[in-house]
Amino acid sequence: MKNIKIFLLLFLGFSFVLHAQTKKATNTLLWEISGNGLKKPSYLFGTHHLISKKFADTMKVLQEKLKLADAVVGEIITDSSTQKKMGPFLIMKNNTLDSLLTKTEYKEVEDYFKSKQPDFELKQLNNFKPAMVSLMITLFDNPELMDNVGKEGMDDGFQQDAKKNAKALYGLETAEYQASLLFDNDLQKQKKALLKAVREVDKSKLKMEELKSDYLNQDMDKLTILFKIQDEEFKEFMTELLKNRNKRWLDQLPAMMQKQSLFIAVGAGHLVGDEGLIKGLQAKHYILKPIATN
């Protein structure tokens, strides 16, 4: 499927014009990391995985800090091989949607797509895992996100900058791990999530709009609350998506920062909360200083 990488990355983060920096100093997506024996500071920035690189291009101070760094760090390194690596995780083996769903459930999902695109037939997606279909629902229900599919995202923009300027580029995990995290969980749980997505499209759309607004305003307090609230049934998944990954990244970053100055660009959800990277790095005795992006 064309642009599979963009569909995948949507689920890991979160839009489109830069709002003025609010007065509260900590309301910023950009943080300087210093102290604890570092010879040079590193920088931590929270991204939205489905936003144009133009968002970051307008941030004067952000661009200055990016130039100062010796290397760029992302969640994964995205290149021409990423789609090939992640693609196989989207497909069900020895199962299909019309077998996994009851006839009533299948019609319910298909009717949703037909309400958006009358000539759509769900059989086109019959071999895809329910989690992939859920992502497509998110895009169908949020046209502004669909408009960005295929455009160079902010995360890619930082990585292209590193390549252009002959800087080192590192990924904190592999594309295969990320795809496994999203698509290798129990199919019955994926089915439940798919039906929930169809039945609660209005609720989900409101949450996406709230997330978009909070991100654009760089409101770290509200983002913290949004990522803290989660459905009981998805707690296990969210623990792996954020908490456990943050722990692994916090194990890697100190040695990397000791060697050279880093520009670390990861989904904004990884920065916030008691188990986020900001507090995690502070617990390791680093100094985290908020920096206005303009």
Give the pLDDT of residue 268: 93
Give the pLDDT of residue 12: 45
CA nearest 185: which of 130, 228, 227, 138? 130
Give the pLDDT of residue 185: 87
Q: What is the dihedral of CA 51, 54, 57, 61, to 10 degrees?
A: -50
Burial of 102 (0-12, 13-18, 19+ CB in 10 A): exposed
Higher per-residue pLDDT: 115 or 227: 115
Non-local CB neighbours of 22 within 8 Å, separated by 6+ positions: 217, 218, 219
Name the token pair of 122: 């769900």
Which percentage of the chain shows pLDDT scores above 70? 87
123-151 tens-digit pLDDT = 999 999 999 999 888 878 876 665 555 55
Quick check: 150 and 3 in contact, CB under 8 A? Answer: yes
Using the predicted structure, report yes or no on whether residue 20 has a pLDDT greater than 70.
no
Q: How confident is the model at residue 232 (pLDDT cuts 50, 70, 90)?
A: low
Name the token pair of 230: 């989660």
Quick check: 71 and 161 in contact, CB under 8 A? Answer: no
Quick check: 179 and 8 in contact, CB under 8 A? Answer: yes
Using the predicted structure, report yes or no on whether residue 112 has a pLDDT greater than 60.
yes
CA 91 to chain centre: 21
CA nearest 157: which of 260, 253, 72? 72
Strands 262-267 and 42-47 turn out to be: parallel
**pTM of the complete model:** 0.87
Q: What is the dihedral of CA 114, 211, 11, 77, to 10 degrees?
A: 140
Quick check: 195 and 109 in contact, CB under 8 A? Answer: yes
Cα 292 to Cα 294: distance, rounded to the nearest angstrom: 6
Name the token pair of 16: 């489109």
Using the predicted structure, report yes or no on whether residue 11 has a pLDDT greater than 70.
no
Instruction: Count the Cβ atoms, other than its own, within 10 Å of residue 99.
Output: 11
Using the predicted structure, report yes or no on whether residue 16 has a pLDDT greater than 50.
no
